[in-house]
Amino acid sequence: MSGESLGTAPVTVLAVLTDDDLAEVRKIFRHTRWSLLAATSLAQADLPLRHGDTGVVLCDTSLPDGSWLDLLAATRELPAPPAVLVASRHADDFLWSEVLSHGGYNLLEMPFNPDEVCRMVSLAWRHWKQSGAGLLRAGIT
């Protein structure tokens, strides 16, 4: 597995997960050149979302102070909303459809498969970089 960066900006991911799941994602990211920001709640996610170059958010379906829908709503308020990957131990077609219909980028099944995490983060990052949001965040208008 190798991380990538498109253009000059490094891939930056905010993971909003439990401590155990964050540890798993950190292990996966050790084999990449990507930057990982971590939070275990919506409240902790607020600052990195508003002040970073976060192109991808990876979040659990339920958080101690809300859900993935709350996080998705918070990202919509940003000038350059990141692509949101939702992670679930109970991933099914219904949840996948719900994630997409609410504007999430995709659904990842837990426990995490390292190759699938890298593939989905890479695709989400490319999507964000090539969208108007990614160009806006990069200062290209």
Domain harbouring 130, CATH code: 3.40.50.2300
pTM of the model: 0.88
pLDDT reported for residue 10: 81
The stretch 117-131 carries a mean pLDDT of 96
The verdict on residue 141 lying in a domain is no
Backbone angles phi, psi at 16, to 5 degrees: -115, 90
**89, 77 in Cβ contact below 8 A?**
no
Distance between CA 55 and CA 60 in Å, rounded?
17
The verdict on residue 140 lying in a domain is no
Check residues 95 and 52 and name the one with the higher pLDDT.
95
Distance between CA 51 and CA 128 in Å, rounded?
17
- Burial of 60 from C-beta contacts in 10 A (0-12 / 13-18 / 19+): buried
Range of the domain at 25: 9-135
3-state secondary structure of 107: strand
Confidence of residue 136 (pLDDT cuts 50, 70, 90): low
The verdict on residue 64 lying in a domain is yes
The verdict on residue 1 lying in a domain is no
Confidence of residue 5 (pLDDT cuts 50, 70, 90): very low
- Residues of the chain above pLDDT 90, percent: 81
How many domains is the chain partitioned into structurally? 1
20: phi > 0 → left, psi -120 to 50 → alpha, else beta; which? alpha
pLDDT reported for residue 53: 84
The verdict on residue 3 lying in a domain is no
Distance between CA 96 and CA 34 in Å, rounded?
25
The one-letter amino acid code at 37 reads L
